Amino acid sequence: MTIGAESLAAVGGAVALAGGLGGAAIGMAIAGYKGVATLAEQPQYLRSVIILAAIPMSCGLYGLIVLIIILTVVVPKIAAMPDPGGSGFAVVACSVIAACAFAFSGISLGSVCGSGISSLIKTRGQILTNALVLAVFVELIAVLGVVFTILALTMLGLM
């Protein structure tokens, strides 16, 4: 069974997107069920709840970015190589970086935003700013996931 290097690279892109979507779903739901509890008590915080619950979706978009980069930049480069060797598997390896980063930061974003949502009533909505500041810390790790995946692909000469 001979599997071409470009196809393995496409597998890598799918792995990265899977991690991103999985983390985004779990994160938005963790924030979402706390949002339901908060809105059941006081429906006027709808806007803050929507803002905080939507933040984990970014990990899905980062996964899409990595997939598109792999399909549009890396795959043509591998196709142009006379002998790709293990390049396909190397792309799968780099997307493991991205998948782990997006999955776990999505879940953590959900728990941080969920805590922020639970505290909306007690602080009369004042917690929104600080919750966003803390969410950005976790978001930074997902951004580092994108950056380091691109860095690794560049160092391998595949970008």
Q: Which of residues 93-122 bind other proteins (CB under 8 A)?
A: 93-94, 96-97, 99-101, 103-105, 107-109, 111-112, 114-116, 119, 122
* 13 binds other proteins per the rule CB under 8 A: yes
End-to-end CA distance of the chain: 27
The structure tokens listed for 29 are 């739901």
Smallest separation (angstroms) from other proteins to the CB of 133: 8
146 close to 140: Cβ distance less than 8 angstroms: no
Q: How many chain residues touch other proteins (CB under 8 A)? A: 92
Q: Is 74 in the site for other proteins (CB under 8 A)?
A: no
Q: Considering beta carbons, is residue 18 or 159 the nearer one to other proteins? A: 18
| Nearest approach, Cβ of residue 108 and other proteins (Å) | 3
By CB under 8 A, residue 143 contacts other proteins? no
Q: Which of residues 17-46 bind other proteins (CB under 8 A)?
A: 17-19, 21-22, 24-26, 28-30, 32-37, 39-40, 43, 46
Q: Pick from 66, 69, 74, 138: which binds other proteins (CB under 8 A)?
A: 138
Task: List own/partner pairs for 54-58 with CB under 8 A and 24 or more apart.
Answer: 54/28, 55/27, 55/31, 55/109, 55/113, 55/132, 55/135, 55/139, 56/23, 56/24, 56/26, 56/27, 56/28, 56/31, 56/106, 56/109, 56/110, 56/113, 57/24, 57/28, 58/24, 58/109, 58/139, 58/142
